Each structure stands twice: as C-alpha cells, then as structure tokens.
A and B are shown apart, each in its own frame.
Chain A
C-alpha cells in the first residue's frame, strides 16, 4: 500500500506472475498439441504444428499483456466490447460458414478468419467488470443500476441468436448472469429469474419449431437417428466408451483415425483424447482444468480491487463453462452445440481470445497491490 502510486519495476512484475497457473495452462495446451499430433496428413501433423506456434505466440502475448497496468485495460474495456459487438453485427452481412456447418459464424478480415463470438465473451467480462467497478456498491441492486449491465448482456444476444448460435447465446447469458452474481447483486433477482425460467419452460416448448424439438429428442436419445442428427454424438460416445482404462494409445484410436469421429480436431478433441488415453487420461485432464479454475479463484480472492476480481473470476467462469459444456456435449450429457474445449481445440480465435482475457486477468493480479 506504501508504493501505491509508483509503477512496479518489470522484473518485480515478472516474479509476481502466477507461474504455477501458467505451467498448468501450458500443460493443457501441450496435451492438446500432442493429441493433434494424431491427425496427420501425408505424415505431417499440420494441426499440431500450427497450434504449437499459435500457443507460443499467445503465451508471449499473455505475458506482455500482463505487464501492462490494468488501468489501461480498464479504459479499453468499453471500446473493446463495442468492437466485439460491431464484429458480431458484421457476421450476418459479410460472414462465412465454417466448413460443414450451416450457420455463418466466421468473419474474414484481412485474410484472417475469426469468430467474433469467442472475442465477445471475453470483452463482455471486461465491460461488466468495469461497470461494476465504478458502480456505487450500495446501489448495484437497484433496478436502475442493473439496466446498463442488462443491456450489455442483451445487446449481443440478439445477433448471436439470429446467426443462429444457440450455444454461444446461452453461454453469453450465463457469463453475464455469473458476473452480475459475483458483483454482489441481490440474490433475490437470481432466485426469481430461475423460478420464472422453469415455469416458462412449457410455454417455450410449445413454441419450439419441429426441428428444434427433434434436436432435443436427438440429444436425449442419439440412437434415434444414428446417421443424421445423432451421428456426431453417437460416434463421439463410441470413441469415448470404447477406450479402456488407459486408452487405445496415440494414433491407435479407430474412431478418430478412420474418420468416424467428426470435428475431432476442434469441438470433439476430448473424444479423440479419451479414445487414445482412456479413463485415466480424461480424469487427469479434468483434474488439470479444475486446478486451473481453483488457482484462478484464489487469484481473484487475493486481488483486492473489484475490476481485477471480476475479470479473474469472470475468466474462470468463462473457461469453466467452455470446459463443462464441451465435455458434457461430447459425452452426451448436453446437447451438441459448437463450443470448443479451451486450450485443447484447434482454432486461432479460441486460443487468442482466451489468452487475451487471461492476460488481462493476470495483469490485474500482478498489479494487485496497485489501486487501478
């Protein structure tokens, strides 16, 4: 508290970096790269090589971002969020469909394809954290003060809904709600919301389109349509279920090697990993993720200013939702929605936005004794 106004020397900052946490996310990313090694085209593991380079660049970027005082990130929070919403709005106009998917989810900008929805989740965390940081603590439960965060959450929801990308929309809503909850808004709001949602379910069901219902049926029983909508899930369950305690070994997974498993380098990488490494491998990976969330929570608790706390815990929440939804979907616990497994799935936008968000979170942690 004594040197509050003085900037920290760079070496001091480096020693305050959460090295254990960085080691754990690098371990997860390394596992992801090793798993991607199993996909080889003409004996070249193109996915793994690209992912390795991307991760190293992203890690360097993360450390650089963490060195920058959080004040700067706090000031950039709203502009970045506005940029993300703009990109989201551009998707229906100039967006492209990822191969194999019907919906437009990608943007091609300056020769780089990116998924604005990934970026949006991170910037939403930043924007909400900034809002609650400056909101008077005794008034945040007042409906008038909740209007702004509600708008922040709802504004991107509509275009995402129209893409249509139900999975991302649900995730954005949950991240937003989680942030509001962590900011300390009266719990009655949440209890009321849950009660309203549950009682609205029958009405929602009645208004669903037949294909949407079919999706839900297929989720409940993938064998209903093994070659159609349930194909992804069934093949994924076969890949996971057919692995033993220690798995079939690297490049020995029949489901992934013979291309029965779709999207195995992106959304279904957990199925490929489990097929190769078995029950123990999957449990180990889950353990690493839990350690990752645990460390983030501890970091949040040790950071004293609200912006930092909310950014760190918001990132923990985002990562958790990614991991839970992805694993749940791959194992048939949740409906199949396009959500990658953070740090494992192949994909530039995913890695970049997560490492960016984590960079800002770590920046607030590194600078925690400084009042932002």
Chain B
C-alpha cells in the first residue's frame, strides 16, 4: 500500500483520485497481490483436483466392494480354508488259511513344501540336525523346488524309523516347510502265487475319476485287475476330509468340519497259498499251463494257478517301468491269467457235455451202439477218430472211457447244435462268473444264431459234429472246465467263489441242476473208468490210493484246425496239441474238481493226467475235513491231524 501512495501525487485529487486508485488496483497489480491472488486461485484449483482424485478413490472402493465384492468374498473364503483329505486304509487280503496275502506297509516320510519354507536350503540345514540329509539329496530337492509349483510337497526322505519320525513330528513344527506323514504302500506276500488272482493297484483312470469324485484324493490308488479291482468297493473304504482354517503360511489355525475316513474291509480268499505254491512248483516244467481246483460243495476256488507268473509288487504304484515292459513283452505272456483268460478248445473234455445232451434229449441211451471205423463220412466230409484203426462197436460208457471221437460225432449229429449248446451252458461253459474277478473270458459255445450274427454265414452240420468233440468253434477257459466238472460231480449249479468279507465263509448250497441223476451217474462212472479201468485213456492219472478213486477225462485238443498232419513231420511247439485233463475226487463222494491245461503239451492222458493226479493228491492231503485224510489215506507214516508235517511229507509231490 505504501508504494501506491508514492505514485499518488501524479494523479488528480478528490473523486478522480479515488476512481483512478480503483483503476490502478485493477490494471497494473503489484506483484505481491498477483502472487496472493494466484495462491488463492491455485489452492482452490488443487483442492478441486484433490476432491476429484478422492472421487476416483471412492469409485474404486465402490467397484471393489459392491461390483466385484462377490468375487473377492469367495477369494477370501478360499484363502481362509483348506481341506486336507483323510485317506482310508485299504483292507487287507487273507487267504484260506488266514495268511496275509496283501497288506499295507507303513512308509514314514519327511516332506518339504517350498512355499511354506522361507528358504529351502535353510530348512534342509535345520532338518539335517535331526536326520541326515546328504549334499546330493539337498541339491536334488533344491533343483525340484526351483522347477515345480512351490505348493506341491517334495519328498525329502522316506522309510525313516519311528524314532526319527517322532523327532520330526516335534521338531519339524519349528522348521518352516517341513512336515512328516505316513503313507501306505501295498505289499503283496506270496506275490507270484497270487499275481493273477489278487491283481495290483494303480492310479485311477480318467473314467474312474469322473465316476467317483473321492478318487481325486491325491495318492489314491485303485485296484487294477484281480480281486483288488473286483472287490475294490469293499477294500477301498471311504476317504474322509478335514476342513481347516489356515493362515497365510498354510499352518492350521483351527479345525472346522471333519468327516472321518472309513477304512476298507478285509477280504478272505478261498485260495490256499500252500496249494498255490505246490501246484506252481508242479507246473514248473511246462512253459504255459493253468490249473483250477474247486471245492465242489461250496464252489470255493481253492487253487488257481497260471504259469508263468510274476511278482505284482513290480506293478504296484510306483511302477517299475523297465521290469513292467519286460513282463509285457515276455514270450509266454506272464501277465495274462491263463486260468480265466486263456480260451482253449476243450477237446475231449467236452464229450461229457455231448453225452449228457444226447441222453437228456433221448437221442442215445446207455445201450445205443455206434460203429467206429476210425472215420465218419458225412455229407462228403470225413471226420477222423483219434484212433485211425477204429474202436469198433461202442456204447456210451466205453466210448467216453476210450474217448472215441466217432461215437460223439454221431451223438452230436443226432442231438443237434442247439441242444448241445444248451447243455454246455447249463454246465457253466460259455459264461463269465460273477465271482469278483474282472477280465474273465467267456469262451465260446457256438450256435447257428451266433454264426449268423458274427460270421454272417449259415451253420453247417459238420460244425455240429466237430463241436461234439470240443473242437471247431468251441472255446473254454480252465475255470469253466473246473466248474463244469464240479457240476458233473454234484449235479448242482456250482458257482465259483473267490473271496468273502466274513472271517468264516458263508455256507452255500447250490441248487440242483435240471439233469437226470441217472444220466449223471453214467457219466461219473465212465469218468471213473477213464482213469481206473485198464482200457481208459488216463491211467497215468490214477491216485494209486486203495479205496479212493479219482474220476476224470482226458483232452487233447488240436490247435491247428482240423487238417491232419503227415506222419513223421516234426511240428513247431506252437502247433502242438494242448493237453487237458478234468477230474474230480473222491469218485464216490466228490470233494474237489480240477481242470488242468498244459499248452502244447501234446497228450491229455500222458502229460496233463499226471499233473491232475498230483494236484488232486495235494488237495486231498490239505483237505480240512479230516475224515478224508485220516480214513482214506493209505500212508502208514501219516502223522496224526498235524497239517504242517503232512505238508512237509507232501513236498515231494
């Protein structure tokens, strides 16, 4: 203001001075006033700008909470809770003698979750004060930690002792990222003996994952093959889960909800591991063979062997890749269960079916005679008997004993394929049994409809004739042949049983088959003759125990179709005939039925017969019903009631 007054004298006084003074303030303002005005203006400007920016903050807040709030709420919930699965422990598998076949071995492990460790190397160093961690291990873990998702646990060591495990449980809490856990590893005892029966475990397939969400639990293994697969529902149990509130480090703060796991039930097999061992040993001279033994009263499969076999522990996850490949490509297909998946022409072991079909249909009687000249000509086709010189006049009993092909050609021709097939099905052939064993093959009992649908050809009469002796299209599995023999021996609809969940097997009495008992008696008598009569085809199968006879039937089935071979021609092994034998004993009061197949064994009577005899002896000696072994076994050195000594005695079989 002082400066303005100095300028004053130049201006006129009075009103004009007032007016001009107003003008001076308005036009050439003094710099300080300009500065002051600018300050005011710019403060307001900045204030407005600040308010605008706060508006931006408020709109962002509104956006986060009211527009995207739901998304962030669910993210907050995801953050807060973690679900830990509680795995169920798989049921154990015992055999007939309550011996452990499949169990779970505890594997105590130390794991490291990189995400929860401040520094992986430091955590490992701290850990190495409790359990040894080698430099190489450390490097391996550090390498993995760099590569993979930091939330996936890395295995530090496994198979540690309980003492170390307890120490880790206490100390591990203080080492960030370190945790201990117990994992279960399936272990198979008597692995080779039960490889095909019990199966093994593997991670669930995509299909299984889709069907059963519980399988998504990390580390879940499900049965692959065998009883492990067939009874998976029983063995698996039910996994539970526990929900926790967790903090940012993943440490549990408090438990929220819990659904406990239900462990799987134990399973009892009908198979006897001692028999398995002995039978496999007996089969060891042969490249590929199978034996099935059934308790004819209950249907319990007491032995079922397929050779060659393998150790299922190799296939159990984690799989031994190299050995698995070896097994898969091995020449004699050890992975394939020949007892239930091998399909063979039954050959002459099928003749009981033809005979029964003929008797039941009334086309033959026990007195019906056919003449065997070594060949039957029919519709310009020649059907040869195995005995080229012919058997002469044959009635049923003798024809079965001597396995005369022509007699059964004639019978089959008369009875027709449909009635033949019906009888085969009635006796359990061409069927997959509901016994919890996956992958069973059905074999093949052909009839015209099947041929029309599958082969798109009409059925020829000659094919009926061939079916009559178990050749042509007919295919059976060793299990089916054993079931057939059991049904012939009892006249009841025996169903095979492999496992049950009760400690004591529930008692089963199969219903009677709709077959005339007299016809069955005839067949049984002839089967007894096969082994025990001088003119039978299977005298080598005779037990040699006075008072206890085995009944059976030989089978030598052609592999290379029905063309004949030139004399003296040396055939490759794979073209040799299969040797088959079915039998039951004791003939008078059947207890066990067995079937034996030796692939390319040439002769049912000479090769499969002795195997059947030895297997039956093993069965009878192991029989828990003591009256058999005590009353009937002729061995004077037999110790009283003592199974262990009996078994040692029988090791020479």
Chain A contact residues, CB within 8 Å of chain B: 136-138, 140, 178, 181-184, 227, 235, 237-245, 254-255, 258-260, 274, 278-279, 282-283, 286, 289-290, 293-294, 297, 300-301, 306, 309, 313, 317, 320, 324, 327-328, 331-333
A328 and B57 within 8 A (CB): yes
Chain B contact residues, CB within 8 Å of chain A: 30-32, 34-35, 38-40, 42-43, 46-47, 50-51, 53-54, 56-58, 60-62, 64-66, 68-69, 71-73, 75-77, 79-80, 115, 150, 245-249, 253
Cβ distance B46 to chain A, nearest Cβ, rounded Å: 7
A317 and B46 within 8 A (CB): yes
Cβ distance A353 to chain B, nearest Cβ, rounded Å: 21
- What are 6 residue pairs bridging A and B, where the CB atoms are less than 8 Å apart in the complex? A136-B31, A241-B72, A324-B53, A328-B56, A333-B57, A333-B60
A286 and B58 within 8 A (CB): yes
Expressed in whole angstroms, the Cα–Cα distance for A244 and B65 within the complex equals 7
Query: Which residue of B35, B68, B73 has the most chain A CB atoms within 10 A of its CB atom?
Result: B35
Q: CB-nearest residue of chain A relative to B76?
A: A242
Residues of B contacting A331 in the complex (Cβ-Cβ under 8 angstroms): 57, 60-61, 64
Residues of B contacting A237 in the complex (Cβ-Cβ under 8 angstroms): 64, 72
Cβ distance A146 to chain B, nearest Cβ, rounded Å: 15
Expressed in whole angstroms, the Cα–Cα distance for A242 and B57 within the complex equals 17
Q: Which of B43, B73, B115 contacts A300 (CB 8 A)?
A: B43
Residues of A contacting B75 in the complex (Cβ-Cβ under 8 angstroms): 238, 241-242
A242 and B40 within 8 A (CB): no
B61 and A178 within 8 A (CB): no
Q: CB-nearest residue of chain A relative to B56?
A: A333
Expressed in whole angstroms, the Cα–Cα distance for A331 and B47 within the complex equals 22
Residues of B contacting A294 in the complex (Cβ-Cβ under 8 angstroms): 47
A258 and B61 within 8 A (CB): no
A278 and B39 within 8 A (CB): no
Cβ distance A321 to chain B, nearest Cβ, rounded Å: 9
Known: A184-B35, A243-B65. A254 touches B76 (CB 8 A): yes
Residues of B contacting A238 in the complex (Cβ-Cβ under 8 angstroms): 72, 75-76, 79
Known: A182-B42, A182-B46, A301-B43. A241 touches B54 (CB 8 A): no
With A181-B46, A279-B66, A282-B61 known, 11 other A-B pairs at CB within 8 A are A137-B30, A140-B35, A178-B46, A184-B38, A184-B42, A235-B79, A243-B65, A259-B249, A294-B47, A324-B53, A324-B54
Known: A136-B31, A283-B58, A286-B58. A254 touches B65 (CB 8 A): no
Residues of A contacting B150 in the complex (Cβ-Cβ under 8 angstroms): 227
Q: Which of B69, B115, B253 contacts A244 (CB 8 A)?
A: B69
Known: A137-B35, A258-B79, A258-B253. A182 touches B64 (CB 8 A): no
Q: Which of A137, A178, A241, A289 contacts B32 (CB 8 A)?
A: A137
Cβ distance B478 to chain A, nearest Cβ, rounded Å: 59
Q: Which of B54, B60, B79 contacts A290 (CB 8 A)?
A: B54
Cβ distance B350 to chain A, nearest Cβ, rounded Å: 69
Cβ distance B75 to chain A, nearest Cβ, rounded Å: 5
Cβ distance A176 to chain B, nearest Cβ, rounded Å: 14
A-B CB contacts (within 8 Å), total count: 125
B42 and A240 within 8 A (CB): no
Expressed in whole angstroms, the Cα–Cα distance for A243 and B65 within the complex equals 7
Q: CB-nearest residue of chain B relative to A236?
A: B64
A182 and B61 within 8 A (CB): no
Residues of B contacting A300 in the complex (Cβ-Cβ under 8 angstroms): 39, 43
Expressed in whole angstroms, the Cα–Cα distance for A29 and B51 within the complex equals 22
Expressed in whole angstroms, the Cα–Cα distance for A128 and B238 within the complex equals 75
A242 and B72 within 8 A (CB): yes
B61 and A274 within 8 A (CB): yes
A297 and B58 within 8 A (CB): no
Q: Which of B50, B61, B246, B249 contacts A240 (CB 8 A)?
A: B61
Cβ distance A300 to chain B, nearest Cβ, rounded Å: 6
Known: A237-B64, A297-B43. A306 touches B35 (CB 8 A): yes
Residues of B contacting A240 in the complex (Cβ-Cβ under 8 angstroms): 61, 64-65, 72
Expressed in whole angstroms, the Cα–Cα distance for A258 and B246 within the complex equals 7
Residues of A contacting B60 in the complex (Cβ-Cβ under 8 angstroms): 328, 331-333
Q: CB-nearest residue of chain A relative to B80?
A: A254
Expressed in whole angstroms, the Cα–Cα distance for A181 and B580 within the complex equals 108
Expressed in whole angstroms, the Cα–Cα distance for A283 and B247 within the complex equals 29
Expressed in whole angstroms, the Cα–Cα distance for A282 and B60 within the complex equals 12
B54 and A286 within 8 A (CB): yes
Residues of B contacting A182 in the complex (Cβ-Cβ under 8 angstroms): 39, 42-43, 46
Expressed in whole angstroms, the Cα–Cα distance for A309 and B47 within the complex equals 14
Known: A227-B150, A324-B50, A324-B54. A241 touches B65 (CB 8 A): yes
B72 and A293 within 8 A (CB): no
Cβ distance A279 to chain B, nearest Cβ, rounded Å: 5
Q: CB-nearest residue of chain B relative to A226?
A: B75
Cβ distance B621 to chain A, nearest Cβ, rounded Å: 68
Q: CB-nearest residue of chain A relative to B72?
A: A241
Cβ distance A284 to chain B, nearest Cβ, rounded Å: 11
Known: A242-B75, A324-B54. A279 touches B43 (CB 8 A): no
B40 and A301 within 8 A (CB): yes
Residues of B contacting A260 in the complex (Cβ-Cβ under 8 angstroms): 79, 247-248
Query: Which residue of B47, B66, B246 has the most chain A CB atoms within 10 A of its CB atom?
Result: B47
Residues of A contacting B32 in the complex (Cβ-Cβ under 8 angstroms): 137
Q: Which of B38, B71, B72, B80 contacts A258 (CB 8 A)?
A: B80
Residues of B contacting A301 in the complex (Cβ-Cβ under 8 angstroms): 40, 43
Cβ distance A306 to chain B, nearest Cβ, rounded Å: 7
Expressed in whole angstroms, the Cα–Cα distance for A186 and B314 within the complex equals 86
Q: CB-nearest residue of chain A relative to B245?
A: A258
Residues of B contacting A259 in the complex (Cβ-Cβ under 8 angstroms): 247-249
Cβ distance A313 to chain B, nearest Cβ, rounded Å: 6
Q: CB-nearest residue of chain A relative to B47?
A: A297
Residues of B contacting A332 in the complex (Cβ-Cβ under 8 angstroms): 60, 64
The 4 closest A-B pairs by CB, nearest first: A241-B72, A138-B31, A137-B31, A242-B76
Known: A301-B40, A331-B61. A241 touches B35 (CB 8 A): no
A241 and B68 within 8 A (CB): yes
Residues of B contacting A243 in the complex (Cβ-Cβ under 8 angstroms): 65
B43 and A313 within 8 A (CB): yes
Residues of B contacting A183 in the complex (Cβ-Cβ under 8 angstroms): 35, 39
